[in-house]
């Protein structure tokens, strides 16, 4: 069912890509869940989905945009699940919304697209319905939707620990970057299964995140960290390695790594101009790749009182 209302009546929120600058993963514990230690940042609106909503006597969702086809027939949509969860949490069964998801981020791409959509839905409906839940309340609702959703609710640089439930705000500079997806979906479950078969990281421990005031200094320190899922993902999807090689070959590239469970990779650059040039070059060389120049938005160090 399609929507054609006046878009001026809509409330809108961005759902930017979530990027794991590093991702350390331990052996599975009770219930098969893996402990993680990951530094997470978020892209700007050049690499983002968009959620729009207007009041309605029903709950419905329309999906549009370049990535809409990949979601057609999906059994579980986190956007609708988030709307239902917020409605239940505020005990207002009569609340409804006509939602539009403009899908740009790759599906099953390792950049938290579905989680970002769910978080944006919580934010936009929290405001539109006048619920006025604070961030902590929204994060508690988000926990029932998926391990990445609370981080996407917070939407600023942070470290994720435990199984994703422990979030710690951290400092990070603004980082000119590109995102490159080779156009091959990769299921998170399959990557973790392969990771376990290859031999899980039994030396797993939580580490202090890096801090550098410039992209160059930050990327230099970040090179001492890793994404533990990268070998498993490359074994399942060798095109990831080719994407990383392309990124590293671009002038001004400071660091290239896979995000999350893949297959999307990122490159950090010394300038916005360098990132834009690299994105254009890779997009021209690889027509089937999804490529975006963006900025990973930073946060200043928290001042310490004397």
Determine whether 18 is an active site residue.
Answer: yes
pLDDT band at 306 (very low <50, low <70, confident <90, very high): very low
Q: Is the pLDDT of residue 12 over 90?
A: yes
Residue 216 vs residue 1, higher pLDDT:
216
Per-residue pLDDT reduced to its tens digit, 169-191? 999 999 999 999 999 989 999 99
Q: Is the pLDDT of residue 279 over 60?
A: yes
Average pLDDT of the residues in 155-161: 97
pLDDT of the residue at 9 = 57
Q: Is the pLDDT of residue 303 over 80?
A: no
> What percent of the chain stands above pLDDT 70?
93
Largest CA distance in the chain: 59
pLDDT of the residue at 51 = 97
pLDDT of the residue at 3 = 34
pLDDT of the residue at 76 = 59
Question: Can you point out the beta strands (E) in the chain?
Answer: 11-16, 18-25, 36-42, 48-55, 59-64, 97-102, 158-162, 166-169, 175-181, 253-258, 265-269, 290-296
pLDDT of the residue at 30 = 81
pLDDT band at 302 (very low <50, low <70, confident <90, very high): low
Catalytic residue, candidates 6, 148, 194, 270: 148
pLDDT of the residue at 277 = 98
* Phi and psi torsions of 74, nearest 5°: -65, 130
Determine whether 148 is an active site residue.
Answer: yes
Distance CA 277, CA 252 (A): 10
Q: Is the pLDDT of residue 157 over 90?
A: yes
Query: Is-contact 54 95, C-beta < 8 A?
Result: no
Average pLDDT of the residues in 38-42: 98
Average pLDDT of the residues in 40-63: 95
Catalytic residue, candidates 6, 18, 37, 69: 18
pLDDT of the residue at 201 = 72
| Structural domains of the chain in order of their starting residue, each with its CATH number | 7-169 (3.30.230.10), 175-296 (3.30.70.890)
Q: Is the pLDDT of residue 259 over 80?
A: yes
Q: What distances in angstroms separate CA 93 from CA 73, 96, 143, 246, one per listed residue?
A: 26, 8, 21, 51
pLDDT of the residue at 4 = 34
| Those residues with Cβ within 8 angstroms of residue 69's Cβ, 6 or more apart along the chain or in another chain | none
Size of the chain, expressed as the number of residues it contains: 306
> What percent of the chain stands above pLDDT 90?
83
């Amino acid at each position: 069912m399609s929507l054609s209302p006046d878009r001026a009546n809509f409330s809108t929120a961005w759902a930017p890509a979530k990027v794991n600058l590093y991702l350390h993963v331990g052996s599975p514990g009770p219930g098969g869940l893996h402990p993680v230690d990951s530094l997470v940042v978020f892209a700007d609106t050049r690499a983002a989905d968009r959620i729009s909503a207007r009041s309605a006597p029903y709950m419905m969702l329309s999906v549009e945009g370049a990535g809409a086809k990949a979601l057609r027939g999906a059994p579980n949509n986190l956007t609708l699940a988030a709307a239902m969860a917020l409605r239940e949490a505020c005990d207002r069964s009569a609340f409804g919304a006509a939602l539009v998801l403009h899908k740009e981020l790759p599906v099953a791409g390792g950049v938290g697209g579905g989680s970002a959509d769910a978080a944006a839905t919580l934010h936009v409906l929290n405001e539109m319905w006048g619920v006025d839940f604070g961030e902590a309340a929204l994060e508690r609702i988000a926990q029932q939707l998926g391990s990445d959703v609370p981080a996407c609710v917070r939407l600023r640089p942070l470290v994720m620990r435990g199984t994703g439930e422990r979030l710690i705000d951290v400092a990070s500079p603004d980082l000119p970057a590109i995102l490159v997806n080779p156009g091959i979906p990769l299921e998170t479950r399959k990557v973790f299964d392969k990771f376990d078969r290859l031999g899980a990281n039994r030396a797993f421990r939580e580490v202090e995140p890096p801090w550098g005031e410039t992209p160059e200094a930050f990327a230099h320190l970040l090179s001492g960290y890793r994404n533990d899922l990268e070998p498993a993902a490359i074994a399942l999807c060798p095109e990831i390695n080719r994407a990383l090689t392309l990124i590293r070959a671009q002038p001004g590239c400071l660091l290239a790594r896979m995000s999350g469970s893949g297959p999307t990779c990122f490159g950090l650059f010394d300038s916005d101009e360098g990132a834009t040039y690299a994105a254009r070059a890779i997009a021209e060389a690889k027509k089937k790749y999804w490529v975006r120049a963006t900025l990973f938005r930073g946060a200043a160090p928290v001042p310490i009182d004397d």
